[in-house]
Amino acid sequence: MRGLLLALALTLWGGAASAADAASVERGRYLAAAGNCVSCHTRPGGEPFAGGLGLQTPLGLLHTTNITPDAETGIGLWSLEDFRRAMRQGIAADGSYLFPAFPYTAYTRMSDEDIADLFAWLQGLAPVRYTPPENGLVFSIRWPMMAWNALFLEEGPQSPDPAQSAEWNRGAYLVQGPGHCGACHTPRNVLLAEDPAHALQGGVMTGEVAPGLQRPWFAVNLRNVKHGLATWTPKDLTTYFSKGYSMRGASFGPMNEVITNSLSQLRTEDQKAIATYLKSLGGAEYAGPVVSAAEAEAGAGIYKKHCAECHQANGRGNFLKAPALAGNAVVQGESSASLINVILHSPALAQSLRYGAWEEMPAFGKKLSDDQAAALTNYLRGSWGNRAAPVRAEQVAAQR
């Protein structure tokens, strides 16, 4: 009888353990989506998570690693402690220092439980034997990262703010931790570290504007200021996260993969938490040079001819055709790079998230000269209460 009870207890314990393991793996899958791991660790035409994607950095092209559990080319022989050290300290299993193109400066904020769950899920992937291309010589010199980490890495899990709500804290955790939004939306200093004094105030990055054509983009200011998200309501933000568009803007360029592979995959409550956190962020209003009335007027006719039908003469957009340009964060960006890219090359909307009745905006690169495109850009940046620096024709030419 005692043996029968022991066998029953072991069976029940085993079933509970299996359920716990399954729950851990599922949480890990969700965290991988929150972190958009697949976008960076998958090369065009390659197996998911096998690496090989070339990332343009100021130091040259850096290829992402294979994070499938292949024993020879991936992380199949890594222990949980190896993985935790990579996420917290930016140090690989072999002791080599990683570069912050892998955003361990954000992942270090994740909880021990979340790191363990993510590792459990990764270890359950199908192993893929693939070695990414060799990186340039500069990336073979890794010891300076020890000094870089000492200067810029604040190691350790994020602690909740007791003065804030649970929803706010969840949003802060997702934005600052697994979502690593600051990797793109925060400017970097001369040593390529994120500038904490200007966190989430917008940053320049490199990405494709057309197949094989890399150009700078500006990841917009995410703070609740006039040239950031002030015109966005929490509902606008959650709609954008889930569908890739709202009346305040649409996803395009490098943001497409973030929407498709990450934000749209989050639970509604997490999308709301992120919106709550972002809308709580204050910041300095833009105080730099602005487009003059004369500079704006020079592009009025071009706007009327090519843009007003969809975006309306008052810049407020049309629910059935196009988003508002008045108060638009892209239009008023500290850098005009994204706005120029949209005008010249079209926004290239995410194919997996269609925009209902919205029309695909055409590229105007062949229709407008550099001077005309600059005049149109200045009209957008200086009309309907928008405030931003003027754009010159040479800036347009650099984005072609």
Distance CA 2, CA 156 (A): 47
Domain hosting 33: range is 19-132+141-149
Spatial separation of the C-alpha atoms in residues 167 and 82, rounded to whole Å? 32
- The Cα 201–Cα 195 span in angstroms is 10
The angle subtended at Cα 395 by Cα 393 and Cα 400, nearest 5°, is 95
> Residues 126, 198: one domain?
no
Q: What value, to the nearest 5°, has the Cα angle with vertex 337 and ends 292 and 185?
A: 110
Q: Which runs of consecutive H residues, i.e. helices, occur in the chain?
A: 2-34, 37-40, 80-89, 104-107, 112-123, 144-152, 166-176, 182-185, 234-243, 255-261, 268-279, 293-297, 300-306, 308-311, 337-345, 370-381, 393-399
**Residues making up the chain, counted from first to last:** 400
The total of structural domains in the chain comes to: 2
Q: Is 12 inside any structural domain?
A: no
| pLDDT on residue 3 | 61
pTM for this structure?
0.92
Within a domain: 47: yes
Long-range contacts of 47-54 (CB under 8 A, 24+ apart): 47/128, 47/130, 48/125, 49/122, 49/125, 49/128, 50/74, 50/128, 50/130, 51/130, 51/132, 52/130, 52/132, 52/133, 54/133
Domain for residue 10, yes or no? Answer: no
Do 329 and 223 have their domain in common? yes
> 295: which residues sit within 8 A by CB, 6+ positions away?
375, 378, 382, 390
**CATH value at residue 317:** 1.10.760.10
Maximal CA-CA distance, the chain: 94
Residue 187 placed within a domain: no
pLDDT of res. 114: 98
| Whether residue 23 is found in the same domain as residue 112 | yes
What pLDDT, on a 0 to 100 scale, did the predictor assign at position 393? 98
Domain co-membership, 213 together with 275: yes
Tell me the per-residue pLDDT of 36-86, one tens digit each, with 9 for 90 and over.
999 999 999 999 999 999 998 888 899 999 999 999 999 999 999 999 999
Per-residue pLDDT at 10: 47
Are residue 351 and residue 286 in the same domain, yes or no? yes
Of the three residues 123, 149, 175, the one that is the final residue of a domain is 149
What is the torsion angle, in degrees rounded to the nearest 10, for the CA atoms of residue 332, residue 336, residue 339 and residue 340?
A: 150
**Residue 178 is assigned to a structural domain of this protein:** no
Model confidence over 157-209: pLDDT tens digits? 999 999 999 999 999 999 999 999 999 999 999 999 999 999 999 999 998 88
pLDDT(9) > 60: no
Flag whether 204 is in a domain: yes
pLDDT tens-digit map of 113-168: 999 999 999 999 999 999 999 998 888 889 999 999 999 999 999 999 999 999 99
Domain check: are 145 and 208 in the same one? no
Q: Please tell me whether residues 208 and 272 are part of one structural domain.
A: yes
Neighbours of 302 (CB within 10 A): 20
Q: What is the pLDDT of residue 350?
A: 64
| 224 and 125, same domain (yes or no) | no
The pLDDT-based confidence of 8 (bands split at 50, 70, 90) is low
Same domain flag for 215 and 319: yes
* CA proximity to 377, closest of 362, 360, 394: 394
* Rg of the chain (C-alpha set): 23
| Confidence tier at 210 by pLDDT (50, 70, 90) | confident
pLDDT digits (tens, 9 = 90+) for 249-294: 889 899 999 999 999 999 999 999 999 999 999 999 999 999 999 9
The answer on 77 and 210 residing in a single domain is no
- Give 222's Cβ-side CA count (13 Å radius): 22
What pLDDT was estimated at residue 7? 53
Are residues 234 and 311 both part of a single domain? Answer: yes
Q: Average pLDDT over the chain, rounded to whole?
A: 93
Let me know if residue 103 belongs to a domain.
yes
Q: Scan for tokens 């509902």, then name that residue.
A: 235
Residue 165 lies in a domain: no
Last residue of a domain, one of 118, 149, 180: 149
pLDDT above 60: residue 6: no
Indicate the pairing of strand 249-250 with strand 245-246: antiparallel
Listed residues 124, 149, 174: the one ending a domain: 149
- Residue 373: predicted pLDDT: 98
DSSP string, 118-152: HHHHHHTSPP----PPPPPGGGG--THHHHHHHHH
Do 238 and 301 sit in the same domain of this protein? yes
Portion of the chain with pLDDT greater than 70, in percent: 92
